[in-house]
Amino acid sequence: MCRNRGHIRRRVLRRRWEGHPAAEFIRVVMTGLIYPPAMEAHLVAETILRVTLSLSHASLRVSYVSGVLGSTPIASLARALDLLCARAEQAEEPAREVLLSIVDALSAPEAHEVAQLLREEATGESLLSLERLVRQPLSPRTPLPDDGTKEERVPDYGAGRTLTLGERKSLARRPDRSVLEKLLLDPHPDVIARLLKNPRLTEDDVVRLAARRPGRPEVLAAIARDPKWLHRARIRLTLVLNPDTPGALAAPIVGLLVRQELRLVAGAAHVPAHVRALCIEHLERRPPGKPERQAGAGRGTGLVRKRVQ
């Protein structure tokens, strides 16, 4: 009797998930099928691609990918991401859209451990496309010694005194344009993180913030970790062109650049050598003559027009 009930329960679940993008993955879990590693990686990659594209909002996509990063065995995850990265390098539009969500998820502080495990797996198993995504420079830019002469000061907000960090974070939520101009000069990354959520902030403002030199790595990291702004092509390019952007954040963003942008960065003498070399590697992988479209173009964090069929 119990065996029959279990059989009926599995049949009901199969019918409920029939036609869902993850139906094949669920069938494998329910039936206990074991695939060879290559086939399993292909299955996981297809599931990530189809489920991600079926979600209509960028935040939902990032949440789903973050869940996959935290729940999938690292060996299977690494091979699946390598397949998706390789397809994105061949300018496949669906894979490029999914790669944007993967970059968003990997840039979160809670994903640092998974990113390091993926780095080790990619190096050990020669997963070259994944290695390009999670590459960390061996000798990152070392900041100039702080002698106190270049200390960044808190802007004058007109209060007759230096505002506390809490007061400045509170100001960052206000829709006052004149205050926003001063907040863009604030050196504290917590203030900038709040400011990036302000609805009155424009793309031009964030481009100016990302282009500032010398740049504060913490501020640049706050921009790179905000999905709303990372989905803007101009901001991605500005971050990669800024020599003060941390290499571990620049490497995933390079994979989102189109061919013209890769050429621009590769020829920019002020960009760190490891970033330019990575751009050249991506250029060598891009199919010649194939038109490219910006990942996330016209979508921002809103609804996605094109859904997977």
**132-189: per-residue pLDDT in tens?**
999 987 654 545 444 443 456 888 887 788 889 999 999 999 888 888 999 999 989 8
Q: What is the pLDDT of residue 95?
A: 96
User: What would the mean pLDDT of 29-45 be, rounded to a whole number?
Assistant: 65
Residue 53 CB burial class (10 angstroms; 0-12, 13-18, ≥19): buried
pTM metric for this prediction: 0.77
pLDDT > 70? residue 192: yes
Q: What is the pLDDT of residue 37?
A: 59
Give the residue, 201 or 35, on which the prediction is more confident. 201
CA distance 146 to 11: 67
Neighbouring residues of 148: CB distance < 8 A, sequence distance ≥ 6: none
Q: Which string of DSSP letters, residue by residue, matches 188-204?
A: -HHHHHHHTT-TT--HH
The 8 Å CB, 24+ separation contacts for 106-115 are 106/69, 106/133, 106/134, 106/252, 107/224, 107/225, 107/230, 107/249, 107/252, 108/66, 108/225, 109/225, 110/66, 111/66, 111/69, 114/69, 114/70, 114/74, 114/77, 115/248
Q: Could you tell me the pLDDT band of residue 22, with boundaries at 50, 70 and 90?
A: low
Give the residue, 68 or 308, on which the prediction is more confident. 68
Q: What is the pLDDT of residue 229?
A: 93
Give the residue, 14 or 250, on which the prediction is more confident. 250
Query: What is the per-residue pLDDT across 259-283, written as a single tens digit (0 to 9) for each?
Result: 999 999 999 999 999 999 999 999 9
Q: What is the pLDDT of residue 306?
A: 42
Structural element, H or E, at residue 215: none
pLDDT > 90? residue 24: no
pLDDT > 50? residue 72: yes
Q: What is the pLDDT of residue 158?
A: 77
Range scoring the smallest mean pLDDT among 144-148, 208-212, 216-220: 144-148
Q: Chain-wide mean pLDDT for the chain?
A: 83
